[in-house]
Structure 1
């Protein structure tokens, strides 16, 4: 458990042990972990050392505190690699989770100026505006607003957007999706987003904007998404050149 002769700091060993106990489902998301006193007695270390370990795990998002109640196990964050281009439904299936959506908006609108620029269209064109809450295992993960050129996909319907758009585009329309450019930034949820994502007002969210292209070079969609920062994280492998 804890090896006091190890060169690894004791607080770090406690962190790794608690992570392992969470991984082994001794503690599940939402469970309260033992108190600092109980942990210090169990590990036979000072409460200050235990407090350092717990604070680090709270800062890393593995645990969260509730004033006057205790410290609890956080929901596991979904890791989204920045390499490769997949849709939300595909991402969730790869993780063994059930993806679903709640359609908030589906309509045809005159193209907004910023969307016209990104889709390389003139202002006389129209686009579908599709706004959905995206769920993983019935828990809200993101609010996603998609703009697609109506002339490119003329028969899009409410029924079709309940599933995977990428699957419909590639397997039904036989259009080849090639690439996307993507921007991610941290921001704060307003009251409307907080309500949709079921998070406290002013919670941190990850705002992502994606511009996607077909193999023939045509831009076919702009997607603006707000992801729950407490449930989602983006990861990337980088190499020294």
Structure 2
């Protein structure tokens, strides 16, 4: 229970108790937790104190609110290491999840100037423009907009993208993937992307731009990804 004489603020004690109940499965993923009023009565504190504890857990991604319905337990965030170049399919399989993709767009078109610069090709050269919704266990996790130099991947079709793109590049096209450079920032989602990701129109997302290279140093893809910030967190190991 709550120790009101403790040097630890009451709202932090409530936070820890709610965290413990989530960790122990007393409050399960997708389950609504007791209301502020019920928790205030349970802990014999003000609703303001309970609200502060819940707000902190919402900000930490452990809970989420739905207007008019209550506060629910969130699904655990997926940890994505920032070191290592792997595909979405490989990442999800490594977690024991079932990856799938919804192909929204596949077209061949001339590259605009900026994209051509990034891919080290001539402006106007053809690229494949691919947009996919990436799912894990049937839940949308990210939107990927990928651009590939057409000359590197002759005969690429939408049907061939039913498998992992990296697997296709290495097995079918016999190319060796080297390294990549990534940029990441937080942003508010667009209305279109929110619909694809099943999040509120003003939801926060993680924007990632990746330029990937073959072992020869040739850029072979530009990927602009939109990740759900409520389902992903990126981690890195830093050494001195």
Equivalent in the alignment of 1:168:
168
CA offsets 1:134-161 (integer angstroms, 9 cap, x no match): 1111111111111111111213221221
Return the alpha-carbon distance in structure 2 between the equivalents of residues 227 and 65 of structure 1: 20
Provide the secondary structure at the position in 2 that maps to 1:151: helix
Structure 2 contact 112–124 (Cα < 8 Å) conserved: no
Structure 2 contact 80–235 (Cα < 8 Å) conserved: yes
Aligned length, in residue pairs = 240
- Counterparts of 1:55-66 in structure 2 under 5 Å? 55-66=55-66
Return the alpha-carbon distance in structure 1 between the equivalents of residues 36 and 53 of structure 2: 10
Residues 13 and 174 of structure 1, relative CA distance in 2, 3 Å threshold: farther
Q: CA deviation at 1:73?
A: 1.2
Equivalent in the alignment of 1:202:
202
Equivalent in the alignment of 2:146:
146
Q: CA deviation at 1:201?
A: 1.8
In the alignment, structure 1 residue 116 sits paired with structure 2 residue 146: no
Unaligned runs of 5+ in 1: none
Q: CA deviation at 1:127?
A: 1.1
**RMSD in angstroms over aligned alpha carbons?**
2.2
Return the alpha-carbon distance in structure 1 between the equivalents of residues 113 and 89 of structure 2: 29
Residues 40 and 237 of structure 1, relative CA distance in 2, 3 Å threshold: farther
Unaligned runs of 5+ in 2: none
Q: CA deviation at 1:217?
A: 0.9
- With normalisation by structure 2, the TM-score equals 0.89
Provide the secondary structure at the position in 1 that maps to 2:152: coil
Q: CA deviation at 1:8?
A: 4.8
Structure 2 contact 29–74 (Cα < 8 Å) conserved: yes
Structure 1 contact 107–129 (Cα < 8 Å) conserved: yes
In the alignment, structure 1 residue 39 sits paired with structure 2 residue 39: yes
